[in-house]
Chain A
Amino acid sequence: MQQVNKKVILIGNFGVGKTSLVRRFVHQKFSDEYLTTLGVKIDKKLVELNETSVNMLIWDVAGEVSQTKVPTSYYLGAHGIIYVFDSTRPSTFQNVTDDLEYVQKLLPKAPVCLVGNKKDLVPEEDLNKIGEQLQREVDFFTSALTGENVEKMFHYIALKMIE
């Protein structure tokens, strides 16, 4: 089986659950204690997809209100982008369009996965409204607490990165 290294960065506002998603995906754990990420944390996990084994190097970047404040060096060589927002806090998905435009300029070839986290706290009909509001399809609504769609979401970006 062929093995490839792929760097994926998780970006988005602070407190949206980026670290929790990585923790759930890599370590199958969850804690509801919020500890801010200061700069960047890095984890890795091997994902097997058909004929390819993807060594995912996951950069969990400190949350910022605007992604222009993230040191540009963090984006260097990234193969994929996961933009996470908090489905319960509208302020975390207000800048999605501008943020993604900025990041895609830096990484024009990298696939983007738009993720609404904390889905366990929001009724289904409200999740649909978020999608309409953003005028962009939300790829996944996830819950780091229950693990719902977390694995699926990382597999999706892994697949996109090797396409």
Chain B
Amino acid sequence: MNKKENPKGLLAAHINHFKPRFQYVLLDDEGYVVESSDAIVKLSELENESVFDLVPFLESLKDTLQFLEISDEPLWFPRLEFPVLDAEGVFDFSFRRFKPNESEQSYIVWCIEDNTKHYDYLFQVQQERNDSMISREWLDIKNRQIIALNEEINRKNQEITDSILYAKRIQEALLPPEKNLQTRLKDSFILYKAKDIVSGDFYWLSVKPDVTLVAVVDCTGHGVPGAFMSVLGNTALNQIANVENITQPKLILEALNKDISQLLNKYVYQHQEGYEKIEDGMDVALCCIHHKERKVTFAGAKRSLCLVRKGEIMEYKGNIFPIGGFFKNDEKEFNEHSLDIENDDMLYIFSDGYADQFGGADEKKFMSLHFKKLLQRIAHLSAKEQKDALDKTIEEWRGNIPQTDDILVIGLRL
């Protein structure tokens, strides 16, 4: 906009809007009004009333004003936010001592400057500034709290991970090395892939003069609770087979079921849920290889045994109930299968982790049938090749999907 287009009076209106109003009041030392211009508040009409008694601000300044000297600089009080009698607004006050010519008496000149309109604008600016600064500080505080919380979580996470990593060493020490199995059964493999650092699946081996006992155990849950269960199972199996010297799979499972049920048949206090009965258990596939008789006996608790013979696959199903769990003890009598061995027979025992792995194009489970067909297809390969093929297949199947459960497959060439 150039000068010529500027509407007349705009600046004048603006100046007029923000122009302060002034009032001058002449007071004596007792606060009585001697004279007032009354532009803002009517003070000239006050009779026998001291302004010190009417305005708390002046009351609090009474002593100070009495000691004000003529030579002193005027006292200035900006932005006073209280009414002066009936006049509301934001005022600036100034005071100075004044002495008329030759007069003995001196007075206080009180100047009231009404800057309400100007300060309205200042108020808005200051309010916005303060609001934004407080919000920013709150945001900073919240951010710092979140950072501190994250650090705490990371620290605790690290502590837990370190603790579980140490537990992994203990769990690994309980598992017999693969070569122990291969000493008895040269062409055998163990594919063991824990979902977490520690596993709820474990395998167990007992080598005796005439027989070899091999078990795949899948405890309820995975990770730390699964690992606890695995320690219980491992200890109980050692006691039954190696101390009590029981080698018949059916009897081992029945003894294991009794032990685990007795150990876990309790109510324990859960923080929020109150008392809860423990219903954890384990699925087991257990086979006993009788080397002299060239036969295998098998019993299963919710797990099967697969035999691949001359390209054909046969499944020997275990019982439908697990070890422990919520089934009643007296209902559990395990069946036992007896298989005569032929040359090149390939036996497989496994947990459900392989078949339950999600993946593929549709992110579905690998499925038991698919798994058995795979076993059938690879059974002619060497144990090492089978292990690699199984590993490669499941890794390709899951792609970027996390591992669903612990995976354990044992293959035995008889």
Contacts and interface: CB of A to CB of B under 8 A. Distances in A.
A81 B119 CA distance: 27
Contact of B141 (A35, A57, A88): A88
Contacts of A42: 56-57, 60, 80, 82
Contact of B59 (A14, A15, A44): A44
Interface stretch (A70-78, A105-113, A141-149): A70-78
A89 B141 CA distance: 8
A88 B61 CA distance: 35
Contacts of A24: none
A136 interface: no
A161 B76 CA distance: 26
Contact of A91 (B61, B80, B81, B137): B137
Contact of A71 (B76, B123, B134, B137): B76
Contact of B127 (A5, A35, A41): A35
A59 interface: yes
Nearest to B82: A42
Nearest to A19: B81
B60 A38 contact: no
B301 interface: no
Given A34-B131, A38-B123, A89-B141, A43 B56 contact: yes
Contacts of B63: 77
A133 interface: no
Contacts of B79: 38-40, 62
A150 B284 CA distance: 71
Nearest to A6: B60
21 contacts: A5-B60, A5-B62, A7-B60, A36-B127, A38-B90, A38-B122, A39-B79, A39-B81, A39-B90, A40-B79, A42-B56, A42-B57, A42-B60, A62-B79, A71-B76, A71-B78, A73-B76, A73-B77, A76-B64, A89-B137, A89-B138
Interface of A: 5, 7, 14-15, 34-44, 57, 59, 62-63, 71, 73-74, 76-77, 88-91
